[in-house]
Structure 1
Amino acid sequence: MGQQEKVTTSLAGAVSEEISASLAPVDAELERRYPGDPGTRQPVHTVYVPGDAFAADTIRSWGDQALAALDAHAPDAASFAAVLGLSDELAEPVYSRVRAKLEREPIEDLRVDFEDGYGPRPDAEEDATAARAARLIAQAYDNGTAAPYMGIRMKCMEAAVRDRGIRTLDVFLTGLIEAGGLPDGLVLTLPKVTYPEQVSAFVRLLEAFEKVHGLDAGRLGFEIQIETSQSILATDGTATVARMITAAEGRATGLHYGTFDYSACLGVSAAYQASDHPAADHAKAIMQVAAAGTGVRVCDGSTNILPVGPTGKVHDAWRLHYGLTRRALARAYYQGWDMHPGHIPTRYAAVFAFYREGFEQAAARLARYANRSGGDVMDEPATAKALSGYLLRGLDCGALDIAEVARRTGLTRADLEGFAAPRRGDLTASAK
């Protein structure tokens, strides 16, 4: 030990106090606008089912159809791996986990659709369908057959369908209240949002419902669907999507990219409308930056190429879907849309492969960081946050098991959650 250094300062304490006082409004604004990720589970996909097609057995039916597709077109790990290009090391773990997932929890997030997938119907018919959706979802949560997240996509807030959308939402939510209350996994989706004022109007609508039923303020959140060019860039050059997050007043939970409506809005030819088109990449990049730190999550779009028909055609569609999903995951879009039961085997295959491929390295790096043991990479708190978030996502979807994560890292889930949600100041300090 050397001699103790003499520490001297030049500034009076009042200087620091004055600076802190001047920045107090900024500190409060940072906390309000950028609370960070909510730390809750994010589903890996959203499945849309038209209101008239939704039934008590929809979730199980999708799982059974997905399993049947595997039986018909990839009956074992080797054949599935050959289609998708999985390594020998990943083939069996991914395939067995996909099958187990389809048996246990085939859908993570389901939206009963009253918009494009449902279309215009007589009012009495839509009323009855909305009431039925509420009854079936309430029953699913009661009997344990629900997906972790369920809800509806209503019609948008444009003039032609606004009243119908409001009424459908009212019928649905009232039905849930009368059936015993709002489930924890309830999710609402507001489509075709073009102006922040439409988001503000939706907030007022939800506030009114909460007040009528004595619910806690802010109980009802919602996703904003990005399907028009105006939702990305306004006429004055501002990023409209950022203003929409502000207009949601803390109720926005997600930004969902609508591949085909957005592409058509920009004039992209039907044959080139895809989630990897440059126009799609631009929109999602703006969404991602606008949402970063706000607690609002970004969801990728879908492909409309369905895995149906002869085996060769199914394999082509699987490869496309798998590739798009892996591409999205690498770009930090951890959720996407699936439009057909045949899509969910490759959704889970892509997700499981993504987390299992990087598991060993992520676990080792986080363990070294936690133990301050160094290594060939100098990680900081922000990287530890990303590493733990990666492992937690893998655990939530079933790609990883808590026992193997604990074995490789020496950490509990609570430890991982602590690294994934550090205090704001911790992210600006270097790892010691």
Structure 2
Amino acid sequence: MPDDDHHPPGLTPKPVHVFYGGAHLYTPETPRKLARLARQALDTHAPDPAAFAEAFALGPDALERASRARDAVRRKLDASPIEDHRIDFEDGFGVRTDAEEDEAAEHAGRAIAETRRAAPADADAPRLGIRIRACHARTRARALRTLERCITALVRAADAPPPPGFVVTLPKVRTPSEVATLADELDRLDRDLAIPAPPGGDAPAIAIELLIETPPALARPGAIDAWIRAARGRARSLHLGPYDLLAALRVPGDEADLHHPFCDAARLAMLAEAAEHRLDVIDGPTKALPVGPGRPAIHQGWRRHAHDIRRSRSLGLHAGWDLHPNQLVSRHAANWLLADAAFDDAARRLRGFFQQAARASRVGERFDDASSAQTLITTVARALWCGARTEDAIEQAVGLPARTILTQPFEHIARTATPPSDPA
């Protein structure tokens, strides 16, 4: 869920992306294979700080920063390059016979069970989920059949509920009834397969993601809100489907871009509803992939991907889709570079906010900038999550322990903690 005044970001990183791949391609080896390909791309096309600086347009005078960034990206690619993985039974799967899709759904369920069995307590294991077909009249039966076969195979193979954070993505939503149909089917599967709610919460084990990619999202006031409510507590996030949205709005293909004005309008609508319902908002993919031939083409693709990530961040979206293993390099590079660039100013301002809040508390006044302070805390958290700063570096910069800053509400810290002194 998004961070706000009353919910500190915590120490556990939030996914910065969702990696999409066709269901016919997924095996328990897929995450490791994708990680290997991403490392190969980094080592081949940015083998040293100079090449990395060139790839991300850092300039020849930024070699020290490029070295730190490249080292951090390499560590990330070694440890946990994929943070959230979606097994796709829609566009990435294509047109199949019923028999082929039945087999793929059951295979995916067993593969998910095996993936989690190999690392049941691994905090770095990616979240997992599936995208089904739309719940329109023409594809509804097929979508629900795929869902049932995949979840049933998963639960039986694992002899356990779906893994933590498991989600079903519903594409091309047009009406609340489509979302309600999916929620009804998940309720039935919970009963039939005895899937319990996760401990410590009221939310069901299987969440729903809504793909915002049809004109009603923009044309009908309250449409997105109605879709969220139709999920009956299962909605976890809103995802932008930019290219289907633009096609539906008759934007020519050569003008279809992730940051087309129609996409920005959809983002603003999504962000407003997500803030109301405390959901995450996930951006769509960069269309131009970082593929060859040759290093210049790879670098151009990385720069375009990083540019899109920066622009999404400027609108308040901190995660997006990735479609190719080479994009794992630019995803984590852009994430590190943005967090590194934002940290010093955020930490300085946050230290000042804690000092001001402590003074206000001593004289019985209320500090009115708690929301701004909480936003800065989230900026600091992102630097920790991506490895741009350590907990010790955060404490030195802000003047309070990182665990205190990131796990307690700002106003509570201001009332109870010893305020930071001015930096030496």
The one-letter code sitting in structure 2 at the alignment partner of 1:160 is R
Q: Unpaired runs of 5+ in structure 2? A: 198-202, 360-366, 414-424
- Alignment deviations for residues 265-311 of structure 1 (CA, whole Å, 9 cap, x no partner): 11111122111111111111111111114221111111121111122
- Alignment deviations for residues 240-282 of structure 1 (CA, whole Å, 9 cap, x no partner): 1122122222211110001211111111111221111111111
1:18 corresponds to: none
Q: Unpaired runs of 5+ in structure 1? A: 1-33, 424-432
Q: List aligned pairs for 1:128-147, cutoff 5 A.
A: 128-144=103-119, 147=125
2:394 matched to 1:405?
A: yes
2:69 matched to 1:94?
A: yes
2:245 corresponds to: 262
Change (3 A) 1:414 1:208: farther
The one-letter code sitting in structure 2 at the alignment partner of 1:411 is P
- Cα contact 2:165–2:205 (8 A) shared by 1: no
- Normalising by structure 2, report the TM-score: 0.85
Deviation of 1:35 after TM superposition, in Å, equals 11
Aligned-partner Cα distance in 1 for 2:339–2:368: 20
- Alignment deviations for residues 66-86 of structure 1 (CA, whole Å, 9 cap, x no partner): 121122222112211122122
- Cα contact 2:217–2:266 (8 A) shared by 1: no
Aligned-partner Cα distance in 2 for 1:387–1:398: 17
2:233 matched to 1:233?
A: no
The one-letter code sitting in structure 1 at the alignment partner of 2:320 is G
1:53 corresponds to: 25
Q: Which one of the candidate residues 118, 124, 127 is aligned to 2:93?
A: 118
Change (3 A) 1:271 1:421: farther
- Alignment deviations for residues 382-420 of structure 1 (CA, whole Å, 9 cap, x no partner): 011111122223323434322322332222324323237
1:400 aligns to what SS in structure 2?
coil
- Cα contact 1:80–1:95 (8 A) shared by 2: yes
2:258 corresponds to: 275
Aligned-partner Cα distance in 2 for 1:270–1:300: 19
Q: Compare relative contact order (CA 8 Å, sep 6+) and give the higher one, 1 or 2.
A: 2
1:219 corresponds to: 205
Q: List aligned pairs for 1:67-78, cutoff 5 A.
A: 67-78=39-50
- Identical counterparts, % of pairs: 35
2:375 matched to 1:386?
A: yes
Q: Which one of the candidate residues 328, 332, 336 is aligned to 1:344?
A: 328
Aligned-partner Cα distance in 2 for 1:197–1:422: 42
Q: List aligned pairs for 1:302-381, cutoff 5 A.
A: 302-309=285-292, 310-372=294-356, 380-381=369-370
Aligned-partner Cα distance in 2 for 1:337–1:47: 6
Per mean C-alpha deviation after superposition, the further-off stretch among 286-295 and 414-423 is 414-423
- Alignment deviations for residues 333-367 of structure 1 (CA, whole Å, 9 cap, x no partner): 01101111111111111111111111112122222
Deviation of 1:128 after TM superposition, in Å, equals 1.8
2:150 corresponds to: 172
Change (3 A) 1:41 1:98: closer
1:30 corresponds to: none
Aligned-partner Cα distance in 1 for 2:412–2:106: 43
The one-letter code sitting in structure 1 at the alignment partner of 2:403 is R
Per mean C-alpha deviation after superposition, the further-off stretch among 350-359 and 176-185 is 176-185
- Cα contact 1:110–1:147 (8 A) shared by 2: no
Aligned-partner Cα distance in 1 for 2:268–2:162: 33
1:86 aligns to what SS in structure 2?
coil
Q: Which one of the candidate residues 173, 177, 183 is aligned to 1:193?
A: 173
The one-letter code sitting in structure 2 at the alignment partner of 1:190 is L
Determine which structure has more spread, i.e. the larger CA radius of gyration.
1
Aligned-partner Cα distance in 2 for 1:398–1:272: 37
Change (3 A) 1:202 1:357: same
Aligned-partner Cα distance in 2 for 1:420–1:143: 39
The one-letter code sitting in structure 1 at the alignment partner of 2:154 is L
2:87 aligns to what SS in structure 1?
strand
Change (3 A) 1:231 1:277: same
The one-letter code sitting in structure 2 at the alignment partner of 1:159 is A
Change (3 A) 1:330 1:90: farther
Aligned-partner Cα distance in 2 for 1:188–1:118: 15
Change (3 A) 1:182 1:203: same
Change (3 A) 1:212 1:263: same
2:26 aligns to what SS in structure 1?
coil
1:42 corresponds to: 14
- Cα contact 1:127–1:171 (8 A) shared by 2: yes
Aligned-partner Cα distance in 1 for 2:223–2:163: 31
1:150 aligns to what SS in structure 2?
strand
2:209 matched to 1:209?
A: no
The one-letter code sitting in structure 2 at the alignment partner of 1:96 is D
The one-letter code sitting in structure 2 at the alignment partner of 1:207 is D
Deviation of 1:41 after TM superposition, in Å, equals 4.4
Cα RMSD between the aligned structures?
A: 2.5
Change (3 A) 1:384 1:373: closer
Q: Which one of the candidate residues 228, 231, 237 is aligned to 1:245?
A: 228
2:139 corresponds to: 161
- Cα contact 2:165–2:206 (8 A) shared by 1: no
Deviation of 1:315 after TM superposition, in Å, equals 1.6
Aligned-partner Cα distance in 1 for 2:172–2:72: 36
Deviation of 1:374 after TM superposition, in Å, equals 8.9
